[in-house]
Structure 1
Amino acid sequence: MKKNLLLLILSVLILFSSCDSNLGTEVENHWPQAGVTYEIFIQSFYDSDGDGIGDINGVTKKLYHVKELGADAIWFMPIMPSPSYHKYDVTDYKEIHPDYGTMDDFKNLIKEAHKNDIKIVIDMIINHTSTEHPWFQESQKSRDNPYRDYYVWAQKDTIADFLNKKTITLDSDNIRQWHDPGQGEDFYYGFFYGGMPDLNFDNPKVREEIYDIGRFWLEEVGVDGFRLDAAKHIFPDDRPEDNHAFWKEFREEMSKVKPDVYLVGEVYDMKEIVAPYLPGLPALFNFDFHYTLLEAYEKVDGMLLARKQKEILDFYNAITDDFIDATFSSNHDQPRLLNSLDQNPKKYKQAINILMSMPGAPYLYYGEEIGMLGKKPDENIREPFVWDIKANDKGRTTWIEPEYSIDDTVTPLAIQKSMSTSYFNHYKEIIRLRNTNRALALGDLELYEESIPKELMAYYRTHDKQVLFVVHNLSDQEVKIAAPEDYSWPIYSYGMAEIQEGQLRLPAYSSIILEK
């Protein structure tokens, strides 16, 4: 009995000793520079009133989930009135979609979120409106209507050569940009599709309307910032300098009412195209991170992602140190990560280890923390969150019949909480590790330059006096390398990775983090 008690005491001492090596184990909020943001599609999140559609009060009720997970902010996909389920075609920029609740509901959500040190970011869709927006309804009435110039119109004979032009881009497979509203003579421009007419930002009145909308949400409603949809397409692709200038002006106007306003832009392109947006949009989504992560697993090439990330960070740093690298491993436009990784649980857990141990301000898509599934079309990437077994899940939304994330394929959150090896508890653990180690959140990235097997990804994270050595084995075979000198016992190990007789033993899809 005494022997067992002694072993228990020794185990506890070792645990606390390991924790103490983290230069303080207090959880820190590193948002926006390196904090964790949780993306929510309200429609699918939690239904508080039984109508089958997720709502704002449902999110308020589940704020503790976001807090428990360790996220510092929430990004909401569109919340404004719209005729579509996804709501990326707005009909009223200063209201809440009635399916989601009221403006008072949303203000209460913000108040409760702020009490819990959670920031609120909303999707702002200003490249285009819905054809049902009052501005467009007026615009199509006649050529001399006061709202005509709020959109881009052209007579049929002046754009004849462009009517059937196919324009395929990284963020749109639309084959037609000019659309006939049924008049037969005048056509309007809509980059994404006919139901989303582009606003005309050459018109000063349009720009002022947009600035006024931004002020409204920052001053009167109290949001902390905006995710700017289709930021690359404010002006046509052959006018990039005008895009850059607009976002600088937008940032200046928003900063007048909220000096610390957070702006994250969706500029879906290579780093050379993305970088000039930084003066206007200090946070930009890193699409290369997502795609290179998947490519690294496909090719079993560990350093592929590390080198790509180092290349991007060095490129941006040469331009400005005022930028936030918004990294992500999945979002509402991409197949669910577990599907992209062959539904391999070990790969899946390791992928979040990589995201959380890399530099940047990582975004998490709702449901990834429980291993939700989904493939195109987009509706099936946005299926209802699985809170509990169906018989007990009063808050599960029913607006769509899920095809991928069902009880037979996804273990509900309520059950995962009690499973030590669940996806949810794994996510919690690695996020907490990041939030208690400044080197993981804020540290510089240095590549491990020694010769190592192709399967391994290895790098250093350094911040002040803390130096961490991070290694991931992206293969399905065990790999060993010499353990670096002057590093203590691991502060984190996944997949039975360990130091053994002067070597790092890395089983399939394992990760290890050592502290110097």
Structure 2
Amino acid sequence: MVFYELFVRSFYDSNNDGIGDLKGLTMKLDYLKELGVEGIWLLPIMQSAAFHGYTVIDFYSINPSYGNIDDFKELIQEAHNRNIKIILDIPINHTSVKCEWFQKAVNGDEKYKNYYVWANEKTNLKEKRHWDDSLIWFKYKNKYFYGLFGSSSPDLNFENKELWNEIKNIFKFWLDLGVDGFRLDAAKHIFDYDIENMKFKYQHEKNIEFWNEMVNYIKNINKNAIIISEIWDSPEIVKKYHGIFDVEFNFPFSYYIKDTIKYHDPRILVQGINETLHHYISGSIKSISGNFFTNHDMERLMTTFNEDINMSKMAFNILMTLPGYPFIYYGDEIGMRGKIIDVNYTEDSQEPMQWYESGFGPGQTEWKGCKFNPPYNFISVEEQEKIKQSILNHVKDLISFRKENKWLENSLISNLFNDRFTISYILKSHNKEIKVYHNIKPQKTKVKKETYKSYKIYGQGIIKDNYIVLEGFSSIILEK
């Protein structure tokens, strides 16, 4: 399956308030269908005061800026009519301080007090989170709460088993509305604070117990539900969770792809495949690798490559010619730019989707100024649909190839090899086999021509008598 990560606020506006909404997304489903998208991962759409939606006020409601439950039902129906699945992002690690649960807790309700983690005499109120030295304890009405993701995001206390039932009710609510699965935000953070010793500590065994129970619950309601986990960590930590979820986001591999192209070094990709796609070499596949290069918390691809379109096309060549499920961040298919200066401020990587070359037109969202994607810079669907060599049409062609060869999702990798210019590998599944060459450098190179039934070139290349001339940042796929 080819997935598309979509931020409703930035996508398409149906009522001229400048904010993307569910009706607007429904109006643009045909664009996604034509692109080749088979599943939409929706960033949180529940009621939230935060622009990104990750601090939820009410888990059983729709953000009124996006519409209502009926709009969501219509979206699901229309998506399903086009054979597109809807995967909902649910951030259950924490709530908003505006959440009714938290407000009841701070006002003394014993049931809801036990939903959160509070400071006591053992607490070091100056403790900071390990990745950027931000504080993790915050004062609210003379009480200190634990909030790993900021002062507006009090963490839930999953030592409280009553809370587990509350979370199950949330999953059931959305499944009953027709969603096809969930993206589980911050999956390794369910148990990340040692309450007994009052200090930050990942407790992976407890996380695994929790998620096993939740996944089994979800599958009992809908055995075909797709469960996607976000575990942003080293390959060693990701391996601990292998087999629990249907799809595991492969964060380490996202960096391997980008660094391979950025530094023109095919050895990096070989290392990345060996380290993070090893289960597609050994055949011990228990969870599908969710492959991507960027998301809403990361710098956009074109910015990473200093706006080099050929390098971005090369990244898509790699993404679409490996096993697993590819995920595309909205706007990357038209080369949108976006830089994150601070992990706490991600707006610049979530700018409005650019439909028009002028930057204005029906449905164009305008909730934020386009610092990185200004008008008349060839960063629009309108302009790129016209030009055969655009990144948009390049991505469409790759997705079309991918969908014609669904077997690639579960294929095995063999014959992994690199020289100074290229990386090559064979993908096999039953009686199907292809060989792929990627020229990672900007200069052209030659590769040996082999017996094949057909070939596809993504980029530029010429087939000679006994060799192939492959231009820089180009790939060739040989069907055996």
Q: 2: CA distance between counterparts of 1:359 and 1:282?
A: 14
State the match for 2:198 in structure 1: none
Q: Which moved more, 1:465-474 or 1:97-106?
A: 465-474
Alpha-carbon offset, residue 326 of structure 1: 0.5
Q: 2:130 aligns with which of 156, 161, 168?
A: 168
Q: 2: CA distance between counterparts of 1:443 and 1:306?
A: 17
Are 1:153 and 1:189, in contact at CA under 8 Å, matched by a contact in 2?
yes
Alpha-carbon offset, residue 478 of structure 1: 1.3
Q: 1:222 aligns with which of 175, 178, 188?
A: 178
State the match for 1:10 in structure 2: none
AA partner of residue 203 (structure 1): N
Alignment of 1:444-455 (within 5 A): 444-449=412-417, 452-455=418-421
Q: 2: CA distance between counterparts of 1:439 and 1:505?
A: 28
Residues 254-282 of structure 1: CA deviation (Å, up to 9, x unaligned): 11111111110110111221122234323
Q: TM-score, length-normalised on structure 2?
A: 0.94
Q: Which has the higher strand share?
A: 2
Which structure is higher in RCO with an 8 Å CA cutoff and minimum separation 6?
1
Alpha-carbon offset, residue 454 of structure 1: 2.1
Q: 2: CA distance between counterparts of 1:391 and 1:110?
A: 29
Q: 2:79 aligns with which of 110, 113, 120?
A: 113
Residues 165-197 of structure 1: CA deviation (Å, up to 9, x unaligned): 23223xxx35211221141xx421111112100
State the match for 1:238 in structure 2: 202
State the match for 1:207 in structure 2: 164
AA partner of residue 167 (structure 2): I
2:253 aligns to what SS in structure 1? Answer: helix
Alpha-carbon offset, residue 163 of structure 1: 1.7
Q: 1: CA distance between counterparts of 2:164 and 2:409?
A: 37
Whether 1:42 and 2:42 are equivalent positions in the alignment is no
Are 1:310 and 1:445, in contact at CA under 8 Å, matched by a contact in 2?
no
State the match for 1:54 in structure 2: 20
Q: 1: CA distance between counterparts of 2:49 and 2:222?
A: 31
1:164 aligns to what SS in structure 2? Answer: coil
Are 2:280 and 2:413, in contact at CA under 8 Å, matched by a contact in 1?
no
AA partner of residue 126 (structure 2): N
State the match for 1:18 in structure 2: none
Q: 2:423 aligns with which of 438, 443, 457?
A: 457
Alpha-carbon offset, residue 356 of structure 1: 0.3
Alignment of 1:106-185 (within 5 A): 106-142=72-108, 145-155=110-120, 157-159=121-123, 162-169=124-131, 173=132, 175-183=134-142
Q: Root-mean-square deviation (CA), in Å?
A: 1.7
Whether 1:430 and 2:387 are equivalent positions in the alignment is no
2:294 aligns to what SS in structure 1? Answer: coil
Are 1:300 and 1:454, in contact at CA under 8 Å, matched by a contact in 2?
no
Q: 2:467 aligns with which of 503, 507, 511?
A: 503
Q: 2: CA distance between counterparts of 1:317 and 1:140?
A: 52
Are 2:235 and 2:275, in contact at CA under 8 Å, matched by a contact in 1?
no
Q: 1: CA distance between counterparts of 2:460 and 2:358?
A: 34
2:32 aligns to what SS in structure 1? Answer: helix
Whether 1:327 and 2:305 are equivalent positions in the alignment is no
Alpha-carbon offset, residue 439 of structure 1: 4.7
Residues 339-358 of structure 1: CA deviation (Å, up to 9, x unaligned): 11121111111110110011
Alpha-carbon offset, residue 422 of structure 1: 1.2
State the match for 1:359 in structure 2: 323
State the match for 1:13 in structure 2: none
Structure 1, unpaired ranges of 5+: 1-34
State the match for 2:155 in structure 1: 198
AA partner of residue 429 (structure 1): D
Whether 1:93 and 2:49 are equivalent positions in the alignment is no
State the match for 1:420 in structure 2: 388
Are 1:356 and 1:440, in contact at CA under 8 Å, matched by a contact in 2?
no
Are 2:266 and 2:422, in contact at CA under 8 Å, matched by a contact in 1?
yes
AA partner of residue 474 (structure 2): S
Are 1:174 and 1:191, in contact at CA under 8 Å, matched by a contact in 2?
no
State the match for 1:189 in structure 2: 146
Q: 2:373 aligns with which of 392, 405, 420?
A: 405
Q: 2: CA distance between counterparts of 1:90 and 1:504?
A: 54
Distance 1:453 1:387, change over 3 A: same
Alignment of 1:272-351 (within 5 A): 272-315=236-279, 321-351=285-315
Are 1:56 and 1:105, in contact at CA under 8 Å, matched by a contact in 2?
yes
Distance 1:140 1:320, change over 3 A: farther
Q: 1:69 aligns with which of 35, 55, 58?
A: 35
AA partner of residue 411 (structure 1): I
AA partner of residue 145 (structure 1): E
Q: 2:49 aligns with which of 66, 83, 91?
A: 83
Distance 1:317 1:228, change over 3 A: farther
AA partner of residue 148 (structure 1): K
Q: 1:473 aligns with which of 419, 439, 442?
A: 439
Alpha-carbon offset, residue 207 of structure 1: 0.7
Q: Which moved more, 1:397-406 or 1:454-463?
A: 454-463
Structure 2, unpaired ranges of 5+: 193-200
Q: TM-score, length-normalised on structure 1?
A: 0.87
Distance 1:318 1:247, change over 3 A: farther
Q: 1: CA distance between counterparts of 2:125 and 2:283?
A: 39
Q: 2: CA distance between counterparts of 1:307 and 1:359?
A: 16
2:40 aligns to what SS in structure 1? Answer: strand
Q: 2: CA distance between counterparts of 1:437 and 1:226?
A: 26
1:306 aligns to what SS in structure 2? Answer: helix
Alpha-carbon offset, residue 495 of structure 1: 2.6
Are 1:248 and 1:279, in contact at CA under 8 Å, matched by a contact in 2?
no
Q: 2: CA distance between counterparts of 1:235 and 1:279?
A: 19
Distance 1:75 1:483, change over 3 A: same
Q: 2: CA distance between counterparts of 1:390 and 1:117?
A: 32
Alpha-carbon offset, residue 318 of structure 1: 6.7
Distance 1:318 1:238, change over 3 A: farther
Q: 2: CA distance between counterparts of 1:158 and 1:438?
A: 55
Alpha-carbon offset, residue 392 of structure 1: 5.6
State the match for 1:21 in structure 2: none
- Fraction of identical pairs, as percent: 38
Residues 467-508 of structure 1: CA deviation (Å, up to 9, x unaligned): 111011111111113223x22442x11232232231121111
Alpha-carbon offset, residue 251 of structure 1: 0.5
Whether 1:440 and 2:408 are equivalent positions in the alignment is yes
Are 2:136 and 2:146, in contact at CA under 8 Å, matched by a contact in 1?
yes
